[in-house]
Amino acid sequence: MGAGAAAPGWPDEFVELLVEGGCRVIRYDHRDTGRSTAVPAAEADYDLGDLARDAVAVLDAHGVDRAHVVGMSMGGLIGQLLAVDHADRLRSLTLTHTGALDMGTTDENPAVGPERLTRVIALAEPGATEEAELERRVALWRELHGDALPFDPAEYLRLERRVIAHAGTFLPSTGHIRLASTPLPRGADDLRTATTPTLVVQGGQDPFFPLGHGRHLAGLLPDARLLEIPELGHALPAVVHRRVADAILDHLRRHP
């Protein structure tokens, strides 16, 4: 899952579709999220390479030798590091709502207008109470969701109530903020050597990673397929659960 997101960031209803398709699903809290160990943001001395090693440690703890890995947003960057540095632990890789490790893009799809990013940044300040924080998070999801699909605030409110109940606090995780300014440990040349079969899912309404990022990423990886969903933003709403889950399950069946 993405920066600051814990395991429940993967919607239960979406996970259930994967389980119905025959998967054993392991969701986990990144360090500094959910119920994992947390430190003050100023003391968060780690990088994405450490988060990739955390993922390997989770597999070890569950006795899993090789796994089908799905990473969204920052989780997609972690997935790429796994493919480069820990390929022996992967059966397949699915990358959604993310960009390549070199943060490159094609010229065909400029980012969604800067006014949306301005509104996202304006929603960065945490709420002073749980209800205020929930209101802020739903408003943030409204911006990330995009304009092409119907937006259901009740859906995101349910999701965030689960996230808060899981963590035991309404205070958002902040330890990952510094990762945005931390140099990525690998780049385009490393991705060109990655042999893990990969599915890239990219949305046309994503304000952070528009379609050009997905096209660039899929072009770097030697064994990648690209699924474009023009109406999808930087979110995983219920209306696309079946479509995305079916694409992942098909990818897993191609690479058992």
Phi, psi of 146 (to 5 degrees): 90, 175
How many contiguous H segments (helices) and E segments (strands) does the chain have?
Answer: 9, 4
CA-nearest of 149, 177, 209, 213 to 42 is 177
Q: List, in sequence order, every beta strand (DSSP E) within the chain.
A: 67-72, 90-96, 198-203, 224-229
Active site (catalytic) residues: 73, 206, 234
Q: What is the spatial distance between Cα 100 and Cα 45, in angstroms, rounded to a whole number?
A: 23
For the stretch 122-133, what's the b/e string if a residue is b when 16 or more beta carbons lie within 10 angstroms of its beta carbon? ebeeeeeeeeeb
**Residue 32: exposed, middle, or buried by beta-carbon count in 10 A (0-12, 13-18, 19+)?**
buried
